Structure 1
Amino acid sequence: MSKSYKHLDAIATLFVTVLLISNITSTKIVNLGWFTFDGGTLIFPLSYIFGDILTEVYGYSRSRKVIWLGFFCAFLMAVTFSLVGALPPAADWKYQEAYNQILGSTPRIVAASLIAYWVGEFSNSFILAKLKILTRGKWLWTRTIGSTLVGQVLDTTIFILIAFLGVVPNSVIGSLIVSNYLFKCGIEILFTPMTYWVTNWLKRQEQEDYYDTNTNFNPFRFSKLTSYTKPSE
């Protein structure tokens, strides 16, 4: 019989919500002094924090299911926006052009986000799970930050190139990649104390601290979960 958890559903819901909101708000490019980034960058780093918490507390296999859930929800959103945009507008509805400009570009952005998110999140989860075994559960900051540095460079580069290459001037592409990457990693580092607190609280609440010593890390495999084994000191 599989173990029941109090807060796994809530963490999964927040994770998917952040993903969907960031996809829509990515249609706007923001400039704040030295930093130029898409609007989704303001909230998207939280998905990595939730991803870290999922893997650290519940293990890679459960995190894998949540990552796929987010993937399919974002895909459904993109398809819905496209279908609605293709339908003929009512005669007295004057906002078709505005819809196309904002949500009409969302399918490309979501496609970019889906690919980038898939690569980035699975890389992040895999590295964190492996580092947890390597460090024997110590130094949480090394795996939350270390996994994010790798996951975000993949995520950010893939997303910007697919979403904006040919849409914005090439001179802006490099700036977007660097600004997005620095901002996202900065948020992860800034929120490290909060990540520590939430992670430790969840471990006490759930009576769980999963070690992926027997996990199959194939992202396409959904095997039955095995019991964790904490490395000996």
Structure 2
Amino acid sequence: MQRHHRYYDLLLAAFVVVLLCSNFIGAGKVATLDLPIFGTVIFGAGILFFPIAYFFGDIMTEVYGYAHDRRAVWMGFAALAFAALMAQVVIALPVAPGSYMAGYQSGLETVFGNSWRIALGSMIAFWCGSLSNSYVMAKMKILTQGRHLWTRTIGSTAVGELVDSSLFYMIAFYGIWSTSEIIQVALAQYVLKTLWEVLATPMTYAVVGFLKKKENEDYYDTHTNFTPFKIKV
């Protein structure tokens, strides 16, 4: 009989919210930041929040196992697909007369007109990256016999973010941004998101410790079917 987990649904909901907001609100804006050693760094604004999704993914894999994180990834995939469809339908609807609505329509097209590419890029990149992250973390947990959590969270994120960053910006913005800008932003994205995971390590330890105690769960994926094409846990 499948166990009931008190906090998994909350983590799942938070995961999907972060994924949607970081991709549709922040992904399209390129920002700059002046750093002492690196100089001016160009990055996608969504990077400030998107790594939280990987934070939740690491926690779900560590506590509940690969299959629970795989289900969360598929839920996020479905949410992104619906949001992209909704954006295109809203943009395509005839605009009511008036200068206000004309300006509003222009703003919608600017913000969400490329949403289908952002959603497609995000779905492909995150699906591949997140499942790679979860797989590496689950396998490393077995290899390390559950010790040294920080090696798993940072190591798996380095792999997952490499896959994610390599795919997302090329799919979402090729032909819209210059190739050099895509490469620069993708590289900054990878470095900053991996660094974010390093800085979040104390918080990861605290949340994982709390959940393992409250849920009485510390899952090892010893006999897990790692196929990505399943939703059932």
| Superposition TM-score tier, normalisation by shorter sequence | over 0.9
2:66 aligns with 60
| Runs of 4+ residues over 2 Å off in structure 1 | none
1:107-133 Cα shifts (integer Å, max 9, x gaps): 111110000000000000000000000
C-alpha contact (below 8 Å) 2:125/2:164 kept by paired residues: yes
For the pair 1:78 / 2:78, whether they are aligned, the reply is no
CA distance in 2, matches of 1:18, 1:221: 23
Q: Which amino acid aligns with 2:126?
A: Y
Q: Which amino acid aligns with 2:33?
A: L
CA distance in 1, matches of 2:64, 2:176: 40
1:41-73 Cα shifts (integer Å, max 9, x gaps): 110001111000000000011111111001101
2:140 aligns with 131
1:60-103 Cα shifts (integer Å, max 9, x gaps): 11111111001101110000001111111111212111110101
Q: Which amino acid aligns with 2:79?
A: C
2:170 aligns with 161
Unaligned regions of 5+ residues in structure 1, if any? Answer: 226-233
C-alpha contact (below 8 Å) 2:88/2:113 kept by paired residues: yes
Unaligned regions of 5+ residues in structure 2, if any? Answer: 35-39
TM-score, with length taken from structure 2: 0.94
Deviation at 1:222, TM superposition (A): 4.3
1:28 aligns with 29
- Give the number of equivalent residue pairs: 224
CA distance in 2, matches of 1:170, 1:58: 40
- Calculate percent identity across the aligned residue pairs: 45
CA distance in 1, matches of 2:128, 2:50: 15
CA distance in 1, matches of 2:28, 2:208: 32
Deviation at 1:32, TM superposition (A): 1.2
For the pair 1:146 / 2:147, whether they are aligned, the reply is no
For the pair 1:102 / 2:108, whether they are aligned, the reply is no
C-alpha contact (below 8 Å) 2:117/2:173 kept by paired residues: no
CA distance in 2, matches of 1:195, 1:134: 20
SS in structure 2 of the partner of residue 195 of structure 1 = helix
For the pair 1:178 / 2:179, whether they are aligned, the reply is no
Deviation at 1:37, TM superposition (A): 1.4
CA distance in 2, matches of 1:47, 1:189: 14
